[in-house]
């Protein structure tokens, strides 16, 4: 995470002395240390900081030719560095796989999970890939109707995107009667309905529900009480009594017990970013993550490269929360399942989001709290002051992540500005959001991937973005690019609902 004090100029992270390779053409950057079998994307992103090899350290430099991209590990020989001596044998095979995928179709979804928690998994990572299901590929009947409360698809995809939340946590439900998302009238609503709906969405129970005023002329009224999904318990109505509709919050989120900080980039303090997580692969920090509920963690899809099967095995990962230093780790959370967005493209970094399902629920305290998901229509305007945090590199030339949790304030940058020729030249899609300082100096970096970009709204903090990619770290006209969480909400809610505890 590149940092700068607002009263001093940016540090020379990329001074002439640092660059030992020939000058690069515009929008080119050399990537060092890609392990055999890892498929480098055609578009830049922060390469996760996988651990260096324990044996055969000579494999930290791969025979795979450097990839051209806008942002990766600058002068870092440890990125994806080595997966053990066995990968030497797979080097040529990895190159062949890379060529096939690099010029082939986009990646398939990986939804790999531990089928039997009691198995002895030592030394058997690859065995888990035989006959494992891919839950993201659903099968539906020919007469499938969306949001009719009847499950026509094997995994329930037809009933998974029927609920969303608007301003003031206003509940909106889509039914087969209308096809639109409409508010639900508050009359007849109670805590039992609230708990039932939150459990339907994968959040165990509700946190708070109340009535809010709604000017909508068309709404949904409750017609029955049963165990049916909410879309089967409502009927279209012309209006609500007293224009009162339902506001629902399933998780107490976005609370920041500690609020003192230093503007411009510094070490975080206890409880400042309680949703910040550290994802460890085989004992080493690789990516950041964001806690969004007791059972689910959001992170970046590129933290789980398809070319490395070991990265897709849940037992290889541990998740740590409530920590300020990698030198003082608490008890880890264990991963039950890894879901990578099937629409993620390694070529463009579009929809760079993944979801981890935890084996047991997290107990919230002052150090561990979830961030709030944004509403479907929540916008973070140009110039909004937000924060990003993580254990990523503070010196891009060092090749090592920070041992301490770092934080930095960054401003939202309008996509039109970010897509300008002098910035990213139309590489930023509608599913991405830019944040940083065009003058440089304040940015996320390698090892921050999957971590949070949060913006404050009233008393709560909302997850605006997930750290994804950029060119360099803290460079002028090269701000950080994040997955726009509001754009991937349907996938998030659908995945949580299908994996609900």
Active site residues: 302, 352, 449
Asked if residues 305 and 295 have their Cβ atoms less than 8 Å apart, the reply is no
Please state the φ and ψ torsions of residue 286, each to the nearest 5 degrees.
-120, -45
Of 265, 404, 299, 274, the C-alpha closest to 46 is 299
Asked if residues 88 and 410 have their Cβ atoms less than 8 Å apart, the reply is no
Distances in whole angstroms, Cα of residue 343 to Cα of each of 116, 155, 431:
28, 17, 11
C-alpha 396/C-alpha 31 separation (Å) is: 13
Of 342, 356, 355, the C-alpha closest to 306 is 342
Residue 316 backbone class (left: φ over 0; alpha: ψ -120 to 50; beta: rest):
alpha
C-alpha 199/C-alpha 354 separation (Å) is: 21
C-alpha 145/C-alpha 174 separation (Å) is: 12
End-to-end CA distance of the chain: 35
Count CB atoms within 10 A of the CB of residue 396: 24
Q: Give the CA dihedral 135, 139, 143, 147, nearest 10 degrees.
A: 10
In 14-130, at which residue ranges do the beta strands (DSSP E only) sit? 111-113
Tokens 């080493």, located at residue: 284
């Amino acid at each position: 995470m590149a940092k700068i004090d607002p009263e001093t100029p940016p540090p020379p992270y990329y001074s002439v002395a640092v660059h030992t390779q020939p000058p690069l053409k515009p929008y080119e950057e050399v990537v060092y240390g890609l392990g055999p079998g890892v498929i480098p994307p055609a578009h830049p992103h922060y390469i996760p900081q996988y651990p260096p090899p324990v044996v055969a350290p000579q494999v930290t430099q791969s025979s795979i030719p450097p990839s051209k991209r806008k942002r990766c590990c600058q002068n870092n020989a440890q990125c994806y560095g080595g997966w053990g001596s066995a990968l030497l044998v797979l080097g040529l095979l990895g190159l062949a796989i890379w060529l096939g995928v690099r010029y082939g179709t986009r990646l398939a979804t990986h939804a790999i999970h531990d089928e039997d928690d009691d198995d002895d998994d030592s030394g058997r990572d690859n065995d888990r890939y035989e006959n494992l299901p891919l839950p993201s590929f659903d099968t539906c009947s020919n007469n499938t109707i969306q949001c009719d409360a009847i499950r026509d698809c094997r995994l329930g995809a037809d009933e998974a995107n029927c609920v969303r939340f608007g301003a003031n946590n206003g509940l909106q439900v889509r039914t087969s009667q209308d096809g639109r998302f409409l508010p639900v009238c508050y009359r007849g609503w109670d805590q039992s309905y609230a708990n039932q709906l939150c459990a339907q969405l994968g959040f165990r129970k509700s946190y708070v529900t109340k009535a809010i005023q709604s000017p909508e002329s068309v709404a949904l009224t409750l017609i029955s009480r049963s165990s049916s999904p909410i879309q089967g318990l409502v009927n279209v109505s012309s209006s609500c009594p007293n224009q009162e509709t339902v506001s629902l919050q399933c998780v107490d989120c976005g609370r920041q017990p500690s609020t003192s900080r230093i503007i411009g980039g510094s070490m975080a303090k206890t409880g400042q970013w309680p949703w910040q997580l550290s994802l460890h692969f085989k004992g080493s920090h690789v990516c950041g993550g964001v806690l969004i509920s007791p059972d689910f963690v959001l992170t970046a899809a590129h933290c789980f490269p398809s070319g490395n099967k070991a990265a897709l095995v849940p037992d290889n990962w541990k998740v740590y929360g409530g920590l300020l230093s990698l030198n003082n780790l608490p008890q880890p959370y264990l991963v039950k399942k890894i879901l990578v967005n099937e629409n993620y493209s390694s070529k463009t970094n579009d929809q760079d989001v993944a979801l981890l399902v935890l084996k047991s629920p997290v107990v919230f305290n002052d150090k561990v709290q979830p961030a709030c998901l944004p509403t479907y229509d929540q916008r973070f305007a140009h110039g909004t002051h937000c924060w990003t945090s993580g254990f990523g590199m503070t010196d891009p030339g060092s090749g090592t992540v920070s041992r301490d949790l770092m934080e930095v304030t960054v401003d939202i940058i309008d996509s039109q500005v970010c897509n300008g020729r002098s910035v990213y030249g139309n590489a930023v899609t509608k599913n991405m959001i830019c944040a940083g300082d065009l003058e440089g100096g304040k940015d996320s970096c390698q090892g921050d991937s999957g971590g949070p970009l949060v913006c404050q709204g009233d008393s709560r903090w909302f997850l605006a973005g997930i750290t994804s990619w950029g060119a360099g770290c803290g460079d002028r006209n090269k701000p950080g690019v994040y997955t726009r969480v509001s754009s991937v909400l349907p996938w998030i809610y659908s995945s949580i609902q299908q994996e609900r505890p």
